[in-house]
Structure formats: C-alpha cells, structure tokens
Amino acid sequence: MNRSDFPLFRALLFTGGLWVAASATLLAQSDTAGFNWWFPPQSATAAGEIDAEFMLIFWITAGAFVAVVIALAAVLWRFRYREGRDPSPVASNVRLEVIWGGILLTILIALAINSQSVWGGLKGAKPQNPDLVVEVRPRQFQWDIRYSGRDNLFGTPDDITAINQISVPVGKQVLIRLKAQDVIHSFFVPEFRMKQDAVPGMETNFWFRATRLGKMEIACAELCGLGHGVMRGIITVMPADSFQTWYSKKMEEKQKQQRGKVAAIPPPETTPAPTAAAKLQNGRGG
C-alpha cells in the first residue's frame, strides 16, 4: 500500500470498527428475553411490532449515515489540496441527483406503507368487546382513575376510584377511555410502546394486552403545565385471578362505604339546624 493512502485507510478502519462494534452490541442485546439496553422491557403485545419498526428505521438510517461518512472521507481525500491543481467548475449532476433522490423516495414510501400497516393493525379499530374498561380522566397534574363497579356503568355511586394507580389483568384486552378534564395530556406507557393524547371535550381510547407482570410507569407525554414533570402514575399488571380478587374486594369495600353513607343521612323527623341566613334574619328581627 502506498504511504499517502494511510489517512484514508485509517479513517475507513475507524468508521468500520465503530460500525461493527455498534452492530455487535445491538445484536447481542436485542434478543435476550425481549430486553435490550436502550428500551424498557416489552410488556404488551404491540411492543414487538413497534420495536421492529424502530429497528428497521434505525438500521436504514445507520447504514445511510455510515455511507455518507465514508463518501465524505473519500471525497476529502481524493480532492485534497495539491500544488498546481485547479478547483473543478462542476456545480451539479442531474443524473446523480435523480438517482439518489429516487432511492431516497423509494425507501421513504416503502417505510410509510410498512409503518401504516403496523399502525393500522394496532390502532385502527377500537375493540368492541374488551375484557375490562377503565376510565382515565387526567387533569393538572394527576390521573383520575375510575372503574365502573358492580353495575358496569360509569359515573354512578358504586364506581371504584383511584388516583395515579391502575391495576389490570395480564393477557386480557383492556380499553382505556381517556377524558381530559382541563388541557391536553398524553397517556404514555413506555413498556407498552403506546401513547395516546387525552383531549378535553372528547373521548380518546388506548387499548392493550399486557404480557408482563409488574409495575410500570404512566408518564404524561404532553407538556400540560408547570407540574407536567411530576404527572406520573403506576400501572400494575397482575395475574388474572389476583385481579379478580382485587376487583371483588374493591367492589365490596365500595358497597360497605355506600351503606355507611346511607346510615349517616339524618332521619327526616330531625329538625334541621338553622342556616346562617336564618340566624342573620333572627338577629335583625330581635
């Protein structure tokens, strides 16, 4: 090899080495139990498909990046300054631009068609018979959670409510009805790879089938005000039977609570305490 070729050779070696090291790391990590070092563990049926899209786009852009860096290094070397050499007057090359423009367009259209079919499959038709429906009504800065309770109706006294805590059964289809109470929020569970805006004045939906037990973070992914950064909830994925036990217990608690409330209402024959207005009038009269 010619001595003057060394800088280019070293640049190529460096870029190539970086590329091989990055690929090896990613490949080594991406297949162990659904975990890889830069994503949280896949925890819903949609996660695999979303990650596959992500990795496809990643490898295409990584390949393009490396090709551009190598081409740049080669051009810098090939057209470096030399005594007595004039700069070339070439300004453009239509044929070349049409070719690489065409390649780029083809890749982008193929990616758009591919991701559209994945997205359509995941978010297209809202499930008609979900195993569980949960209402989530975000507001500045918390997640108000509501289960329908024994009567299967939302907004009735037997609703089971919670703040920032959702429990769901693993493997079941869960539909979340999002109803923002003030501004736009976004319901995001990174482990599920799903995110949905909650918009005031309308209902939006989020559905999933969890595949992994445990507690996961619900992050608000839409800047909603000063407390946005602390707007966090926890979604707990339980085994289906544990969920059933938990839910029955909650319904029982609610029933007891309601009976307590009924007992606390004073019987009708009790004389009502004089209101503030009545007291004032009496004071003026006397």
Min dist CB 143 to Cu ion, Å, is: 10
Find out whether 225 and 189 touch, Cβ atoms under 8 Å: no
Stretch that binds Cu ion, among 31-39, 101-109, 220-228, 241-249 (CB under 5 A): 220-228
Min dist CB 178 to Cu ion, Å, is: 13
Stretch that binds Cu ion, among 49-57, 73-81, 94-102, 185-193 (CB under 5 A): 185-193
- Sign of the Cα torsion 49, 55, 58, 63 reads negative
Min dist CB 186 to Cu ion, Å, is: 7
Q: Which of residues 102-141 bind Cu ion (CB under 5 A)?
A: none
Pair of tokens at residue 232: 């966090």
Min dist CB 144 to Cu ion, Å, is: 14
What are all long-range contacts of 61-66, with beta carbons under 8 Å and residues at least 24 apart? Answer: 62/19, 62/22, 66/15, 66/19
d(CA 197, CA 123): 13
The contacts of residue 154 (CB under 8 Å, 6+ apart) are 135, 146, 148, 177
Stretch that binds Cu ion, among 129-137, 188-196, 214-222, 254-262 (CB under 5 A): 214-222
Stretch that binds Cu ion, among 27-35, 65-73, 99-107, 226-234 (CB under 5 A): 226-234
The answer to the question of residue 50 lying near Cu ion (CB under 5 A) is no
The answer to the question of residue 224 lying near Cu ion (CB under 5 A) is yes
d(CA 77, CA 8): 7
d(CA 197, CA 29): 31
> According to CB under 5 A, which one of 134, 136, 189, 220 is a site residue for Cu ion?
220
The answer to the question of residue 238 lying near Cu ion (CB under 5 A) is no
Q: Give, for 283, the enclosing helix (H) or strand (E).
A: helix 276-285
Min dist CB 152 to Cu ion, Å, is: 30
- Sign of the Cα torsion 205, 132, 250, 155 reads positive
The answer to the question of residue 231 lying near Cu ion (CB under 5 A) is yes
Min dist CB 138 to Cu ion, Å, is: 8
Stretch that binds Cu ion, among 55-63, 105-113, 128-136, 225-233 (CB under 5 A): 225-233
Find out whether 144 and 136 touch, Cβ atoms under 8 Å: yes
d(CA 193, CA 43): 8
Find out whether 51 and 39 touch, Cβ atoms under 8 Å: yes
Stretch that binds Cu ion, among 39-47, 105-113, 152-160, 216-224 (CB under 5 A): 216-224
Q: Which is nearer to Cu ion, 185 or 209 (CB)?
A: 185
Min dist CB 183 to Cu ion, Å, is: 8
Find out whether 232 and 190 touch, Cβ atoms under 8 Å: no
The answer to the question of residue 195 lying near Cu ion (CB under 5 A) is no
> According to CB under 5 A, which one of 123, 172, 195, 228 is a site residue for Cu ion?
228
Q: Which is nearer to Cu ion, 194 or 231 (CB)?
A: 231
- Return residues touching Cu ion (CB under 5 A): 185, 220, 224, 228, 231
